Structure 1
Amino acid sequence: MRIEELTLEEWEDEFPADGFGVFHRPEALQVLEEYWSGRLLLYGGYRGEQLVGLMPLFVRTIAGVTAVLSPPPGFSVPRLGPILLPASPKPHKRERTNREFVEQVLEKVGADDPLTLVGTVATPAYADPRPFRWHGFDVEPRFTYSIDLADRDIDDVMMSFSKDLRTEIRDAQELPLTVSVADVDAAAFVYDRYQDRFEEQGLSMPTSRDFAIDLVHALGDHARVYVVEGPDGERLSGILVLYSDEVAYSWMGGTPAYYEGTSVNGLLEKHLMSDILTEPELESIVAYDLGNANKEQLVEQKSKYAPELVSHYELKSGPLMSVAKRVYQELTY
Structure 2
Amino acid sequence: MDEIEVRELVPSEYKEWDLLVEKAQSGTLFHTSDWLEIYRDVLSKDLKIYGCFRNGELVGGCPIFIRNIKGMVKIANSTSIMTDYCGPLIKEGASSKASKRMQDTHEIFGALREFLCNQGFDSITLTLSPGLGDVRPFTWKGWESSVRYTHHLDLKENIDSNLSRKIKRELKSAEEAGLNTRVSNDLDTYYRLFSLVYDKQNLKPPVPKEFFGRVFKLIEEKDVGYMFVSETPEGEAVASHLNLYGKKCTVTWSSALNPEFGRMGPNALLYYNEFLNLRSRDFEYMNVMAANVPRFTDFIMGFSPKIVPYYTVTLRNTKYSLIRILYQATHEENE
Partner of 2:289 in structure 1?
291
User: TM-score if structure 2 supplies the norm length?
Assistant: 0.82
Q: Give the 4+ runs in structure 1 shifted more than 6 A.
A: none
Amino acid at match of 1:161: L
Partner of 2:62 in structure 1?
55
State whether structure 2 residue 6 is matched by structure 1 residue 3: yes
Partner of 1:207 in structure 2?
207
1:135 to 141, 144, 156: 141
State whether structure 2 residue 41 is matched by structure 1 residue 34: yes
Q: Secondary structure at the match of 2:213?
A: helix
Aligned residues: 312
State whether structure 2 residue 114 is matched by structure 1 residue 107: yes
User: TM-score if structure 1 supplies the norm length?
Assistant: 0.82
CA distance in 2, matches of 1:296, 1:66: 31
Partner of 2:183 in structure 1?
181
Per-residue deviation, residues 252-278 of structure 1 (Å, max 9, x unmatched): 224365769632221111122222112
CA distance in 2, matches of 1:27, 1:58: 15
**Deviation, structure 1 residue 317:** 0.9
Per-residue deviation, residues 277-310 of structure 1 (Å, max 9, x unmatched): 124xxx1x22212213122233221110111111
State whether structure 2 residue 146 is matched by structure 1 residue 126: no
Per-residue deviation, residues 18-46 of structure 1 (Å, max 9, x unmatched): 43222113321221221343432223334
Partner of 1:308 in structure 2?
306
| Unmatched 5+ stretches in structure 1 | 327-333
CA distance in 2, matches of 1:104, 1:65: 24
1:246 to 225, 239, 248: 248
CA distance in 1, matches of 2:96, 2:187: 41
CA distance in 2, matches of 1:211, 1:298: 24
Per-residue deviation, residues 125-171 of structure 1 (Å, max 9, x unmatched): 2211111112221101111122122x34xxx1232111331343245
CA contact (8 A) 2:193 2:258 kept: no
Q: Secondary structure at the match of 2:250?
A: strand
2:79 to 71, 83, 90: 71
Distance 1:146-1:263 versus aligned 2 partners, 3 A rule: same
CA contact (8 A) 1:69 1:119 kept: yes
Aligned Cα RMSD in Å? 2.8
CA contact (8 A) 1:258 1:264 kept: no
| Unmatched 5+ stretches in structure 2 | 328-335
CA distance in 1, matches of 2:124, 2:26: 23
Amino-acid identity (%): 22
